[in-house]
A and B are shown apart, each in its own frame.
Chain A
Amino acid sequence: DIQLTQSPSFLSASIGDRVTISCRASQGINNYLAWYQQKPGKAPNLLIHSASTLYSGVPSRFRGSGSGTEFTLTISSLQPEDSATYYCQQRNGYPITFGPGTKVEIK
């Protein structure tokens, strides 16, 4: 199974800050990576697919990059509504796996 690790597991940042979350795969997964945002008590929302493609309706301050085993989600200017947990997910093969999540808190 392909394991995904995320770093950091928690971060606290101020409004307007640039925030970067990393996701590392245990083996190469091409660009078969997605990012989700989940707020408490809600289902996840798709942000990015295919490593860098912004999903329809997602604000342009979210950006995905990377390929192979190293991936990054960047929020260019943190907004209050970005307080959430972020998960990466690989689809290079079954079983589909998710990273453990990164909780983003607004200072």
Chain B
Amino acid sequence: EVQLVESGGALVQPGGSLRLSCAASGFTFSTSWMSWVRQAPGKGLEWVASIRGDEILIHYLASVEGRFTVFRDNARSTVFLQMNSLRAEDTAIYYCAKLLGTVTTFHFWGQGTLVTVSS
């Protein structure tokens, strides 16, 4: 059974940093594309970043590029999202998602972790 479990969400001040983790199980993690998708309170879904299994291909949403870094530890089947220079507009539930093969369609999702950026 595929499982994705996010952690690391917290209340952080503007300009602060946070690292989210997503522990995966139930599939061959090292060859799987993984993504982060966020959802601001009461709002729609917004793709944030995607990373290929070998970490050679990585894509970011323009508004987070240079502030967020996605990386992974295939030995631990975990994907991370390092978030720096956080802004109020980054407040959201952050979901980890597995892509359907090499297709950018999200077929498994974690339960999400809440990041609140506020003073």
Contact = CB atoms under 8 A, between A and B. Distances in A.
A89 B35 CA distance: 14
Interface stretch (B9-17, B67-75, B76-84, B100-108): B100-108
B44 to A, nearest CB: 5
Interface in B31-83: 35, 44-47, 50, 59, 61-62
Consensus secondary structure, chain B interface? strand
B106 to A, nearest CB: 6
Interface of A: 34, 36, 38, 43-46, 49-50, 55, 87, 89, 91, 94-101
A43 B110 contact: yes
Contacts, number: 53
Interface of B: 35, 44-47, 50, 59, 61-62, 95, 100, 103-107, 109-112
A101 B62 CA distance: 22
Given A49-B105, A95-B59, A95-B61, 14 more contacts: A34-B105, A34-B106, A36-B45, A38-B45, A44-B95, A44-B109, A46-B105, A49-B107, A87-B45, A89-B105, A89-B106, A94-B59, A96-B47, A96-B104
